[in-house]
A = this chain, B = another copy of it.
C-alpha cells in the first residue's frame, strides 16, 4: 500500500487544479471544477477558500495522535514496541524518536468528512474512529511489507526487518483488532455501522493486496486494464472511501450521503494511485528518492504500463517484448519512452483527471455547500498534485 509522503508543490504530472476557488452552483458544474485552469494551474498550492491541505493535515494529526498513542499503549509490551517503532515514535532500541508516521491522510479524511457534514461537534466525536482507520491502514502496511519483502518504509527499515516476520505479522493482527475494538467500545450510535464498514473494507484491502501480488506474477500480456484498475480501487481507493464514509456516519449522515462520500474517496484514491504510478516512471529521481525507471526495471505492472501494453499500438508490442525478457542495465530510458509512445502517460493523466471529476461530482452530491466541501476538495487535490 502506498504512503502519502508528499509536498504540496505543484508539478506537471499532477491532475490540473480546479479552475475556480468557488464551488459552482449550476447544473453540471462539478465537471467544470476539474477543467484545467488557463496557464496550467498557477496560483497558491491547494488554497481553496482558505482550505489549506497541509494545515488540515497538521490539525488532524494533532487530534488523532493522542487517540492512536492511547490505543497502542494498551498493547502488551512486545507488540507495543513494534507498533511504536512502526509509527515512528520510537527507534528500534525503544528510545523516543522524532516521529514520522506519514501524512495521516486517512484519519484526516475521517475528520474532514465529519466536519463537512456535521461541523466541529461531529469532528470531535469522530476522533476515535479516525484513529481506528489509521490503525487499519498501518496493520495493512505491516503485513504488506512482510509479503512484498519491502525493506524500507518512511525512510526507515521496515518493522519485519527489525523485529522479524512473525512478530510483524502478529503486531499487524493486533492493530486490526485494536482498530475494530476501538469502535466496538465507542458508545456513539454511529459506531456499529462504522465498524461494519471498516471490517468490510479490511476484506477489500486484503483482496486488493492478493490481486496485486497475483497480477505481478502473471505474464504482462495476460493482464487487463480493468483488472489493474479494480486492484487499485480495492488496494488504495477502498480505505480512502471508507475513511470518508466513517466520518459521514459520525456526522449522522444518511445512507445516500455516506455512499456518495465513499465514492468520492474511492475516486480520489484512484486518481492518487494513477498519479503515483506516473511519478514512479516520470518522476524526478531527486524528488522521489528512487532511481529513474526503477518500477520499469522491476517490471512492475503499474497502471500506465498496463495501459501501454494494452494500447494495440506498435509501441505496445515493443514494450511487451521488453517486459518479457530480463532487465538489461541502462534500458530504463528507452522503456520510459516506449510507455510514453504507447500512450501510457497520457492515458494515466486523462484517467486521473476523469477520476477527480467523478470525485468532485460525488462530493457535490454529499456536500452541496461549497464552503463545507472545501476541506475534502483540498485534500483530494493535495494527494493528486504531488511531485514525489
**A residues near B, CB below 8 A?**
74-76, 78-79, 139, 143, 146-147, 165-167, 169-174, 176-178, 180-181, 183-185, 187, 191-193, 195-196, 199-200, 202-204, 206-207, 209-211, 213-214
Partner of A206, one of B173, B187, B192, B200: B173
Contacts of A192 in B (CB 8 A): 184-185, 187, 191-192
Q: A78-B214, A146-B169, A147-B165 are in contact. List 8 more A-B contacts (CB 8 A).
A: A76-B210, A167-B213, A170-B210, A177-B203, A180-B195, A181-B196, A181-B200, A187-B192
* Complex: A78 Cα to B204 Cα, angstroms: 12
Task: With CB as the reference atom, state the residue of chain B lying closest to A173.
Answer: B206
Complex: A180 Cα to B173 Cα, angstroms: 13
B184:A195 contact, CB within 8 angstroms? yes
Query: Is A207's CB under 8 angstroms from B76's CB?
Result: yes
Q: Is the CB of B196 within 8 A of A174?
A: no
Task: Find out whether the CB atom of B195 lies under 8 angstroms from the CB atom of A177.
Answer: no
Q: List 14 interface pairs A-B (beta carbons < 8 Å), by A numbering.
A: A78-B207, A78-B210, A79-B206, A79-B207, A147-B170, A166-B209, A167-B213, A173-B173, A176-B202, A177-B200, A180-B180, A185-B192, A185-B196, A195-B195
Known: A173-B143, A192-B191. A178 touches B207 (CB 8 A): no
Q: Which residues of B contact A171 (CB under 8 A)?
A: 206
A249 and B3 alpha carbons, distance in the complex (Å): 40
Q: Are B206 and A184 in contact (CB under 8 A)?
A: no
Q: In the docked arrangement, what's the CA distance between A176 and B206, Å?
A: 11
Q: Name the contact of A196 in the complex, choosing from B184, B204, B214 (C-beta under 8 A).
A: B184
Copies in the complex: 2
B-chain residues with CB within 8 Å of residue A199 when the two chains form the complex? 177-178, 180-181, 184
Q: Which chain B residues border A146 with CB–CB below 8 Å?
A: 169
Nearest CB of chain B from residue A246's CB, rounded to whole Å: 12
Shortest CB distance A129–B (Å): 12
Query: Residue A203 contacts which of B79, B143, B166, B187 (CB distance < 8 angstroms)?
Result: B79
Which of the listed residues A167, A183, A199, A214 has the most CB atoms from chain B within 10 Å of its own CB?
A: A199
Which residues from chain B contact A181 at a C-beta distance below 8 Å?
A: 180, 195-196, 199-200, 202-203
Instruction: State whether A202 touches B184 (Cβ < 8 A).
Output: no
Contacts of A173 in B (CB 8 A): 139, 143, 172-173, 176, 202, 206
CA distance A240 to B203 in the complex (A): 26
Residues of chain B with a CB closer than 8 A to A174's CB: 202-203, 206-207
What's the Cα separation between A211 and B77 when bound, in Å? 11
Name the CB-closest residue of B to A171. Answer: B206
Bound: A262/B154 CA distance, A: 41
Interchain nearest-CB distance for A342 vs B (Å):
30
Q: How far is the CB of A288 from chain B (nearest CB, A)?
A: 26
Residue numbers in B under 8 Å from A209 (CB-CB)? 166, 170
Q: Among B143, B177, B193, B211, which residue has its beta carbon within 8 angstroms of that of A169? A: B143
Judge whether B203 and A75 touch: CB under 8 Å. yes
A343 to chain B, nearest CB (A): 31
Q: Inside 8 A of A191's CB, which chain B residues have their CB? A: 192
Most buried by B among A180, A187, A207, A214: A180
Distance in angstroms between the alpha carbons of A49 and B184 in the assembled complex: 38
A169-B143, A185-B196 known; A210 and B79 CB under 8 Å?
yes
Which residue from B143, B169, B180, B200 sits with its C-beta under 8 Å from A147?
B169
| Chain B residues within 8 Å of A196, by CB | 181, 184-185
